[in-house]
Amino acid sequence: DLPAFVTELDHHSEAQHAPAADAVTLSSLHSAKGLEWQVVFIVGCSDGLLPLSNADSPDEIEEERRLLYVGMTRAKSYLHLSWARARQPGGRENREFSKFLVTLRDSTGQLVDGLDGDESRGSVHRGSGRARTERKKRGPAMCRTCGKGLVTAPERSLGRCRTCPSTYDPDQFEQLKRWRLRQATEREVPAFVVFTDATLLAIVEQLPASLEQLAAIPGIGPAKLELYGPTLLELLGDPTR
């Protein structure tokens, strides 16, 4: 049934980004791939859950570690990690903090408070002191081709209606995909953790010439702007790189 298949593809396309509603989104680490929120809470950060108790082989342990990395990098501004010594109030307190996180350090290189073995202390996370790039509030996104309002998240990422013609250079798009693969390989993360295809397509269509223009593209938060922004602008300015 081709119409039903197309409808299902449209549904998946429209759901690839987190909902923008003023609400709480519950998600598993697996289903959070490709999404991003201002604030992320990851609960249950204890051995047996992170990693799962049935993850025995080195490959399975590394897969669990990568999955946790995906979850932690879904946060644009704030990340909260929590765990409990007991499964329920009054239960046996035999749980331990996840071995993936016991050596978590802040920007100064010091162990984060509450993770150094003193379980009676709360977690106090110190920031880096660097000013964040604040995005200006804008009205409804409009298609740069026909001027209509953009409804779905993929359309807002691209800056145009899905039915409007694309203007990107396919060679430049492939160049950015190769660059993304190199970054993902170096960091040992899936390629979409660096940038999704929709974000890369928006970059080659809009061809930003400054960090400010790059930051205006959905999917590029302050952290990614700082990490990848200058290199992306160099790539866009010199197609031979």
Boundary-marking domain end, from 64, 97, 127 = 127
The predicted-structure confidence for 7-41, as pLDDT tens digits, reads as follows 666 655 555 545 555 567 888 888 887 788 888 99
What's this model's pTM, rounded to 2 decimal places? Answer: 0.41
Q: What is the CATH number of the domain that holds 54?
A: 3.40.50.300
Give the total number of structural domains in the chain.
2
Is 163 part of a structural domain of the chain?
A: no
Q: Are residues 21 and 122 in the same domain?
A: yes
> Which residue range forms the structural domain that includes residue 38?
17-127
Is 158 part of a structural domain of the chain?
A: no
127 vs 79: which has the higher pLDDT: 79
The predicted-structure confidence for 48-69, as pLDDT tens digits, reads as follows 888 787 877 888 888 888 888 8
Q: Are residues 33 and 117 in the same domain?
A: yes
Boundary-marking domain end, from 77, 101, 127 = 127
Is 6 part of a structural domain of the chain?
A: no
Q: Are residues 118 and 199 in the same domain?
A: no
Q: Are the CB atoms for 198 and 158 separated by under 8 Å? A: yes
Say how far apart CA 46 and CA 101 lie, in whole Å: 9
Closest CA to 44 of 73, 8, 81: 81
Q: What is the pLDDT of residue 57?
A: 84
Say how far apart CA 84 and CA 102 lie, in whole Å: 14
Q: Are the CB atoms for 143 and 136 separated by under 8 Å? A: no
Quote the tokens at residue 179.
């660059």
Boundary-marking domain end, from 127, 156, 191 = 127
